[in-house]
Amino acid sequence: MVYDLTMLKTFYASYVGKIEHIRNILQRPMTLTEKILYAHLYDERKVKDYGRGEEYVNFRPDRVAMQDATAQMALLQFMNAGREQVAVPSTVHCDHLIQANKGAEEDIATATKTNEEVYDFLCNVSSRYDIGFWQPGAGIIHQVVLENYAFPGGMMVGTDSHTPNAGGLGMVAIGVGGADAVDVMTGMEWELKMPRLIGVRLTGTLSGWVAPKDVILKLAGILTVKGGTNAIIEYFGPGTASLSATGKATICNMGAEVGATTSLFPYDERMDVYLKATGRAEVAAMAADVAAELRADEEVMANPEKYYDRIIEIDLSALEPYVNGPFTPDAATPISKFAEAVVANNYPRKMEVGLIGSCTNSSYQDLSRATSVARQVKEKNLKVASPLIVNPGSEQIRATADRDGMIAAFEGIGATIMANACGPCIGQWKRHTDDPERKNSIVTSFNRNFAKRVDGNPNTFAFVASPEMTMALTIAGDLCFNPLRDTLANADGEQVKLSEPVGEELPRNGFIGGREGYLAPGGAKTEIAVDARSERLQLLAPFPAWDGEELPEMSLLIKVKGKCTTDHISMAGPWLRFRGHLENISDNMLMGAVNAFNGETNSVWNRSIHTYETVSGTAKMYKSEGIRSIVVAEENYGEGSSREHAAMEPRFLNVRVILAKSFARIHETNLKKQGMLALTFIDKSDYDRIRERDLISVTGLKKLAPGSRLTVALHHEDGSSESFEVQHTYNEQQIGWFRAGSALNAR
């Protein structure tokens, strides 16, 4: 079935004309990224050569996708926007609130009961405002979008940081907070700083144990977790044609881990085949008609250094499998050196659990290749050393994999098949362990591996690899095992080597639907009620507008040391149940952040009671006493998820300023949208001048303007003081959000 066919026909009918018009004005060749971005300008009359990394631009995306955890806050905000229906095709996907525990059937039943109030709310709001609704068990948002909605040349936003998965079909797909999604759903302009362009030239072809996942694992090591910030990664070169559409999606998906705005590939035959295989031959035909404009211009390919801000070369033929981690996805190690790293760094060598799935690696091809390794257990008389958990990406994939014997192959070696949902990847895992704080190692085919993320244990060393490498290490149970080189002892005492994985890109007998789980909007204009006594949902009240004054003598809430992701700021796992209730979820604010003064988490100096207290407890006390506070942090603050709760919670608890060495893109935007001040050090060493019991003033707000500087004054406990200047990236519109109290207030 082709969804939103009228929109697609309109888009493709006008696409080439738009590109020709843009090219005539710019008078130069264009990259694929530029074609798609310029074709989606909010005002088509404002075509000009926008400065990359400098100018903010207004866009008009084609669609919006929301997952159930972030959709709650997004839709609560949309309900205050005064619209009768969404302005663009939009969908909600129930994939985050299902905890992996006993297996798919039981876990979905438990989730349906536990989350009944939230699911009913999301379903009713979706029906009321003309939003498509995918029920629990239908699949992970990004896999479902790839199978049903992504289209070459299109532009979408999604309330999840891995929305760029749709780049596997040549789409500019960008992760955003809920307030940004509301802008698009209400038909307003959506603002983005014109991204820099990183061109990744692929040559050669993958072979053996090397998978598409290894491309992005290697690239993460090159770029680090912040190297792609405010940039779009565009893949090009002859190697792109050798990758399947789902393989391309894997690479684009995990571009979020290097901070990229999004990633995408040029349109090719593999995308055409995938569109047809997923029931969208009509979309494939329309894309084929404009194929020349769904790739970079020939002049760009001939001289890429003239058109991209940075070029990275990767030879697929020379690429090795990688294992990344622990605790950060950019700690990249090729398998040939991984055993050495395990020993040198004293990582727990025993591999205790293997986990295959997530929005990054749960396609048919992923499961097919992993299954080819799993089947060797029986064929070569081996035993599986570690438990295995598998999460299929969608009901279509699960049903097809079941028909083709893959599910049976996994279950035959003791695997637990969990729901078609995110599960352990986002901390939704009820792990059965003898000690929830014991030092241990796991290997996953996921995208992130921050401390505590998967199971809440700060001592779980989580490593990220391809599904086939995860499967091999699960069989061995040993992080030092290298399937390209090493052998395993079978039940007969023989030394046997695992054969290279093989698999099918797409099912030769086609996909089957299974229990699809899609509900089309009913359109009934019923009133949406939220029980005031609910612990799960809470209607939103507007944040107060700026009072027009400076911010004198704010209390330092916490000075964060080291990495501080959105997981540290607003943990997922058991806290996901409160994603629709701002007051309740604020109890987890910054509980995972490390206090620079005592090295502990969730323990900060409370100046009101002169002792250490939890972060949220201290903030709540300050708020009740009318005390404003400030958070100080280091590099790439807020990396990871798109969850806007990490911005809304401090706003709710009267934190007025986040002062950091640098911000992750999505989080900085989320802070601005909620009326917060996101400031950065000019001299990063000024971070060291801030003391635990300081009162901190920020002045210059009355003259706040694009490019202006503010002054931070530190009032030390000993009576001394010092000051320094800080900077910001607010434009006029964003300053308006701050003054109004939030972007929603400024409408």
Is residue 103 within 8 Å of residue 417, measured between CB atoms?
Answer: yes
Q: Which of 58, 46, 56, 54 is nearest to 21 (CA)?
A: 46
* Neighbour tally for 277: CB within 10 Å: 18
Is residue 609 within 8 Å of residue 621, measured between CB atoms?
Answer: yes
* Alpha-carbon distance values, 213 to 61, 246, 280, 446, 466 (Å): 28, 10, 26, 10, 5
Catalytic option among 641, 642, 662, 742: 641
Strand, coil or helix: 692: coil
Q: Known catalytic residue: 96?
A: yes
Is residue 318 within 8 Å of residue 239, measured between CB atoms?
Answer: no
**What is d(CA 469, CA 578) in angstroms, rounded to the nearest whole number?**
35
Is residue 486 within 8 Å of residue 473, measured between CB atoms?
Answer: no
Residue 202 phi, psi dihedral angles, 5° rounding: -105, 130
Can you say whether residue 358 is alpha, beta or left, with left for phi > 0 and alpha for psi between -120 and 50 degrees?
A: left
Catalytic option among 96, 196, 201, 568: 96
Is residue 667 within 8 Å of residue 646, measured between CB atoms?
Answer: yes
Is the four-CA dihedral 65, 71, 74, 76 of positive or negative sign? positive
DSSP 8-state class, residue 537: B
Q: Which of 209, 216, 504 is nearest to 364 (CA)?
A: 504
**What is d(CA 439, CA 458) in angstroms, rounded to the nearest whole number?**
8
Q: What is the 3-state secondary structure (H, E, C) of 431-457?
A: CCCCCCCCCEEEEECCCCCCCCCCCCC
Strand, coil or helix: 491: coil
Is residue 226 within 8 Å of residue 639, measured between CB atoms?
Answer: yes
**Buried/exposed code over 3-42 (b: 16+ C-beta within 10 A; e: otherwise):** bbeeebeebbeebeebbeebbeeeeebbbbbbbbbbbbbe
Q: How buried is 460 (Cβ within 10 angstroms: 0-12 exposed, 13-18 middle, 19+ buried)? A: buried
**What is d(CA 69, CA 578) in angstroms, rounded to the nearest whole number?**
9
Q: Known catalytic residue: 402?
A: no
**What is d(CA 683, CA 670) in angstroms, rounded to the nearest whole number?**
24
Is residue 730 within 8 Å of residue 715, measured between CB atoms?
Answer: no
Helices 68-78, 116-128: crossing angle, 10 deg rounding: 50
Q: Known catalytic residue: 21?
A: no
Instruction: Give one DSSP letter per residue of 541-561, joined into a string.
Output: PPPPPP-SS-EEEEEEEEEB-
As beta bridge partners, residue 264 has 234
Is residue 236 within 8 Å of residue 266, measured between CB atoms?
Answer: yes
Catalytic option among 643, 645, 656, 667: 643
Q: Known catalytic residue: 448?
A: yes
Residue entry with tokens 């990744």 = 200
Q: Which of 99, 109, 71, 117 is nearest to 536 (CA)?
A: 117
Catalytically annotated residues: 95-96, 160, 448, 641, 643
